[in-house]
Structure 1
Amino acid sequence: MGQPKIRNMEEFANISGISRPTVSKYFNNPESVRTSTRAKIEAALKRYDYQPNVFAMNQNRRTTKNIGVVVPNLADPFFSEIGRRVELACIDAGYSPILLSSHGSPEMERDNLTSLRALKPAGVLLAPFGRMSDVEAVQTFDADFPLVLFDANMSSIGQAFVGTDNAQSVDLMVEYLCRSGEAPCFFEMKSPTNPNANKRRQAYIDSMERHGHVPRIYQADGEGWNFEEIGKVEGGRLLAAKSFETKTILCSNDRLAIGMLSAAYDLGLRVGHGPECDLRIAGHDDHPFSKFTCPPLTTIAQDYEAIANRAVRELFSTLEAENQTKDRSETTFDGRLVMRESA
């Protein structure tokens, strides 16, 4: 007959001949028990193929090892990539990340925070919707749990914010496009889902004026997260009507730009920076697929790893401070220009 199925830590302690407090102490911190005891426990774990229920263990602690990570939409490759990096950083620090998607819904963001309460997280990393978020719900959660915001900021909420310096990154792109060809028009959604879009529009206006050019902004109808479709349909409509006043188009994000590239292809327009090309298209974010578009997309790369690691460090710094007062901090990282064939 095979080994008996062990259902909980109490049964594991009994069958391995080790006291329950010692077993619990080991699972909280293996280095806290004697070497000989640790070897005995690990041999028993291997023999009986037992894995403790981490979440059940956490619920019995006053402070758990759970870290909530909430992003607006995991279907968006930007958030899946940065969420993955945040998750790995938490695991490396010995915590159990719980990654949740709000699926493009501010109501789901509120429900995710409510669900996390039941898990008694040590802290939460939140990429909020910003102005579309339930501000009162986020503020209430912030009052009860350590909270760090990343990607999008909400003034005075959370112990820290970490993201990209949109003013620097957009100015970097505008400067390059003006230097290498016609000054760019700006293409965005009329009702953006992310507060970064508003910051990028203002950064574009400021940069164009600094470079002595008139800002030209074109807005697309459409709501939600189907950015590629909106970019193709609305961008295609504007291209077909020859609405853009220059042959250079800077899109608010890469997903809109990918849709615009598709629209240009359908219209038989050649995109690139050579004299034989009809227009240039650039984006922002360095979407994981941007290097594989046709032509590959010129864009601004956000430092995913730096943002993820700094957000995690800010949260752990808050946890270590415990009851000490910690001033709210804001950290932004510069974007990096990635020049490809589209512009």
Structure 2
Amino acid sequence: MGVTIHDVAARAGVSVATASRALSGQRGVRAENRDKVLAAARELDYEPNVVAASLRSRTTHTIGMVVPRIANPFFATLVESVEKQLHDGQRSLLLANSHYEPEVEQRQVRALLDRRVDALIMIPCHRERSCEALTTAAARIPVLQLDLRVDGFAGSWVGVDNEAGVWQVVRHLAERGARSLVFVGAKPTDSAAQARLDGYRRAVGDGDDVLLGDFSKEWGQQAAKLLLQRGSLPDGIVCGNDTIALGVLGELAANQVRVPDDVLVAGFDDIPYAELAQPALTTVRQPQQQIAAEAVRVLDARLSGDETAPRSIAITPELVVRAST
């Protein structure tokens, strides 16, 4: 017979109830007793019966998360930040990928609900068509929108102030002497694409020189080709994200255009590859650890019943100036 919680309690010199609370991370256990229980569990190589514990507590200690595309470096690092926050609270993350398809997103949400996750963190792939999936989940468990949000959905959201970030870029390029700018972004099917486009248009005033595709390196390359075909480049190119910017930089380099001597280029997100670009990319850094911490804090408040009204938290991002400007 395997090691039981009774064995752990006996080794630690505490009651079974205290051992159970300590191992499940519940409050009301003195630090000294918690340390004894955790040490005893390690010494005995104790494996808790997760299924039985879930049935007793009606919680699985798991959080579901749906992202549009895990291959996107920004989403990948954001998932890592969320997972770390949950792991610190002794919870697990179940991850699903929507591939930017609302129908797939809906199926993934239902699958996570079938797995009895305690709550859902969702980066909705579409400003409008993701509403059904969110509504389905919100009818059963606490739901939090992260980074992106759905129009008209009355739920909590945590992300960055995208317009403020683009404003910082435009102001920086103007200070570097740029008088003509082009915005290369994504079609506004998600909230970040819309907010960054709106931020650019407000920042430049009467300017409306924009090229819209998607958040991909391939689109960045294509957009750079379109700009080169014009015969004269703008002073600065504001990119909707770093992946687009990397495509722009690659195409400009292939055509012997010098950055920043001939044109200034800036991105948004500060993905790990931004600093490794040639030249290193000026961008807007999203504080992912802070975003993840706020998201988990808001979700915990919902789960504990301390907070029922939806909250929207917009964190101001930081401009990181590098060689591309």
Which bracket does the TM-score occupy, shorter chain normalised?
0.7 to 0.9
Partners of 1:320 and 1:156 in 2: how far apart?
A: 25
Letter in 1 for 2:225: R
Mapping of residues 154-173 of structure 1, within 5 Å = 154-157=150-153, 159-173=155-169
Is 1:319 the counterpart of 2:303? The answer is yes
1:341 aligned counterpart, secondary structure: coil
1:186 aligned counterpart, secondary structure: strand
Partner of 1:240: 228
Mapping of residues 156-195 of structure 1, within 5 Å = 156-157=152-153, 159-182=155-178, 183-189=180-186, 191-192=187-188, 194-195=190-191
Partner of 1:12: 4
**For the Cα contact (< 8 Å) 1:290–1:296, is it kept in 2?**
yes
1:290 aligned counterpart, secondary structure: coil
Could you state the TM-score of these two structures normalised by the residue count of structure 2? 0.86
2:96 aligned counterpart, secondary structure: strand
1:85 aligned counterpart, secondary structure: helix
Q: Which moved more, 1:151-160 or 1:140-149?
A: 151-160
Let me know the Cα RMSD of the aligned residues: 3.0
Partner of 2:208: 215
Aligned residues: 319
Partners of 1:327 and 1:243 in 2: how far apart?
A: 54
1:198 aligned counterpart, secondary structure: helix
**For the Cα contact (< 8 Å) 1:167–1:203, is it kept in 2?**
yes
Letter in 2 for 1:99: L
Is 1:280 the counterpart of 2:264? The answer is yes
Partners of 2:138 and 2:167 in 1: how far apart?
A: 33
- 1:59, distance to aligned residue in structure 2 (A): 4.5
Is 1:141 the counterpart of 2:137? The answer is yes
Partner of 1:253: 241
Letter in 1 for 2:237: I
Q: Which moved more, 1:87-96 or 1:198-207?
A: 87-96
In our comparison, the structure showing a higher alpha carbon Rg is: 1
2:4 aligned counterpart, secondary structure: helix
Query: Structure 1's 55 and 82: CA in aligned 2 closer, same or farther, altered over 3 A?
Result: farther
Q: Which moved more, 1:177-186 or 1:241-250?
A: 241-250
Residues 57-111 of structure 1: CA distance to partner in whole angstroms, max 9, x if unpaired? 3254323321122221111110111111111111212322223332333233212
Query: Structure 1's 339 and 39: CA in aligned 2 closer, same or farther, altered over 3 A?
Result: closer
Partner of 1:228: 217
- 1:291, distance to aligned residue in structure 2 (A): 0.6
Is 1:331 the counterpart of 2:313? The answer is yes
Where structure 2 has 5 or more consecutive residues not aligned to the other structure, the ranges are: none
Could you state the TM-score of these two structures normalised by the residue count of structure 1? 0.81
Partner of 2:58: 62
Match of 2:286 among 302, 306, 313: 302
Percent of residue pairs identical: 29
Letter in 2 for 1:12: T
Partners of 1:219 and 1:237 in 2: how far apart?
A: 14
Where structure 1 has 5 or more consecutive residues not aligned to the other structure, the ranges are: none
